[in-house]
Each structure stands twice: as C-alpha cells, then as structure tokens.
Amino acid sequence: GQQLNQSPQSMFIQEGEDVSMNCTSSSIFNTWLWYKQDPGEGPVLLIALYKAGELTSNGRLTAQFGITRKDSFLNISASIPSDVGIYFCAGDESNFGNEKLTFGTGTRLTIIP
C-alpha cells in the first residue's frame, strides 16, 4: 500500500535540543495527523491538522499542514527523556481524519544521555 515518506528515519539528540521532522506525499491529503508510538503500544495522537497552512501547537509540540496539502512537519522543543519513541505522520483524504489513514515510515527519536 501507499506510504508517506518521513525524514529523518532516526534522530539521536541530547536532552534539551529541539527536534524537527517532516512528512511528504505524492498525493493530497485533507487531514494530517501526528502520532507517537512507544514500544509494544498503539499510536497516541499528538496533533491533528485539518486545514492547509494550519499551524497548531500542543505544549512543546508544533505541527504545520503544508500549503500544497502534500506535506507536514512536526517540531518538538526542549526535548525531554519521555519524548523518546517513534513518531508517525498519517494522512487522510477525509476532512476529519476519520477514514482510512495512510501512515508515514516513522521517525525514531533517541535521546543520548
């Protein structure tokens, strides 16, 4: 099936650093979602974006829905140990993220002590 391209694949950072990751698609999506997955668990929704150009924050997380509707980025400021995990973007052709989701390839975040 189709997948969204996420970059980088992995990141090794020190605590306190800012993080930036992005997601690109060859197709247009009407909803972009960002999830975090911890080992052995299901994805947890971080931010949902419903409008092209939209910039939304959730605490230290900020995400934007690209104007072309083919990309999105997620920034994490001042990383902390609990930010470790795998981050997935997901695109949905519907306007509410309530139909079939296409997931990105994931970005694995590791914090170096």
List interacting residues with another protein (CB under 8 A): 1, 3, 31, 33, 35, 40-45, 48, 88, 96-98, 100-106
Min dist. Cβ of residue 103 to another protein (A): 4
Residue at 12: amino acid letter = F
Residue at 22: amino acid letter = N
Alpha-carbon separation of residue 69 from 42, 49, 78 (angstroms)? 26, 10, 28
Min dist. Cβ of residue 97 to another protein (A): 4
Contact of 24 with 89, CB cutoff 8 Å: no
- By beta-carbon proximity to another protein, the closer residue of 9 and 78 is 9
- By beta-carbon proximity to another protein, the closer residue of 8 and 16 is 8
- By beta-carbon proximity to another protein, the closer residue of 1 and 81 is 1
Beta bridge partners of 102: 91
